[in-house]
Amino acid sequence: MTENLSTSRYASISRQKANLLTTTLRGAENTQAYSQALEQARHWRAQHAEPTRECFSKLRRINRYKQSPTVFRLKRMNSILQKLKRGESHFTLGALDDIGGCRCIARNMNNVRKITEEVTHSFEVKRCKDYIECPQASGYRSCHVITKIPSEEKNYRVEIQIRTKLQHLWATSLEAEAMMHDPALKTGLPLERYDLENQYIARFFSLISSYFCLIEETPQHVDYRLCEKQIAYSLKQIPTIDTILDELRVFSEENITPFIVDYPADTTKPGGYFLLDFNMEEQTIQATHFDPSAIKDAMYLYNESEIESQHNVVLVSARSVNEISGAFPNYFGGTSEFVGYVEKLI
């Protein structure tokens, strides 16, 4: 039995206390109060590790489809802070539903519906958000189920995302572009809120999402109810489309070099945890492996790496390296398939 994370290295923080940290985290960063609030925010995130792991284990039992990778991650601190600091943000730290998150990537829409139904019957559910039936203007599509997971006399919210491989290719390709340009591209702001270059990128992804809706026979967003020929024509009118595709090719398998640190020779063992460190400048991805019992050490290194590294760092868990690479194609050179869909369309 593993040592409980929240009672060992990290002090316990209540949801109310986490909410009170929000104002300080939105303030000036060069103050002692901010540094202390940031450290406490990391503790609050760490407390989500065990309930997220419990949610992940249960989701793996529910997901009986072999071609549906299931992973979990703890949200990057930069992503948490960006969410709190958005100009129109009404979020507080304790109210965030996705600090702990699990993701299931289904083969098709039929499997998405079946897995979603089982999840809603197997977990205590706070709410559901169906962005497949009601896609966002940005083009984002996925089913989100916010669960309530008890741990150490508290209830933690863990978000389960259930999406098809096609929806996942879209989301991770957008994230790849956001790494090179503006992280706000992932938030789905209205087009007029971006500069011209990012407007082109945002419109490109909205149009491709609409095309994917046609392929999967799901509703398009009201602003992008177009046929295939109209979508292809609109894409060709984007002046920077060749640049966008070239940038996405940077994240292809031919260009990114993955290497695994401390991975066990006995691959029959459970996957454990992987700290992913993506160096975009050098186009390398380092995945440091931790045994299933080493979540405390993994969390410690996650916190330290976020402070010291200038790269994109995230802590994830899955059955195997193959599931990790399938769940994070933008890190492991998997954008080629997405680019292939676009090239076929235009």
329: exposed, middle or buried (Cβ count in 10 Å: 0-12, 13-18, 19+): buried
Q: What pLDDT shows up at residue 9?
A: 44
pLDDT at 246 over 80: yes
Q: Mean pLDDT, the chain, as a whole number?
A: 88
pLDDT at 296 over 80: yes
pTM: 0.89
Highest mean pLDDT among 106-115, 250-259, 299-308: 106-115
Mean predicted confidence (pLDDT) in 312-332: 78
For residues 186 and 331, what is the distance between their CA atoms, to the nearest angstrom?
16
Report the interhelical angle of 336-345 vs 241-249 (nearest 10°).
150
Question: What is the Cα Rg of the chain in Å?
Answer: 20
Q: What pLDDT shows up at residue 272?
A: 83
Q: Which of 123-137, 237-251, 298-312 has the lowest mean pLDDT?
A: 298-312
Q: What pLDDT shows up at residue 7?
A: 36
Q: Which of helix, strand or coil describes residue 12?
A: coil
Q: What pLDDT shows up at residue 8?
A: 43
Q: Which of 3-12, 73-82, 90-99 has the lowest mean pLDDT?
A: 3-12
Q: What pLDDT shows up at residue 258?
A: 56
Q: Are 185 and 177 in contact (CB under 8 A)?
A: yes
How many residues are given for the chain? 346
For residues 177 and 49, what is the distance between their CA atoms, to the nearest angstrom?
28
Mean predicted confidence (pLDDT) in 10-19: 86
Q: What pLDDT shows up at residue 152?
A: 83
Mean predicted confidence (pLDDT) in 270-289: 81
pLDDT at 6 over 60: no
pLDDT at 2 over 70: no
Q: Which of 80-94, 135-149, 284-298, 309-323 has the lowest mean pLDDT?
A: 309-323
Amino acid at 31: T
Q: What pLDDT shows up at residue 72?
A: 92
Mean predicted confidence (pLDDT) in 80-108: 90
**What is the DSSP code (8-state) at residue 252?**
B
Percentage with pLDDT > 90 across the chain = 62
pLDDT at 132 over 90: yes
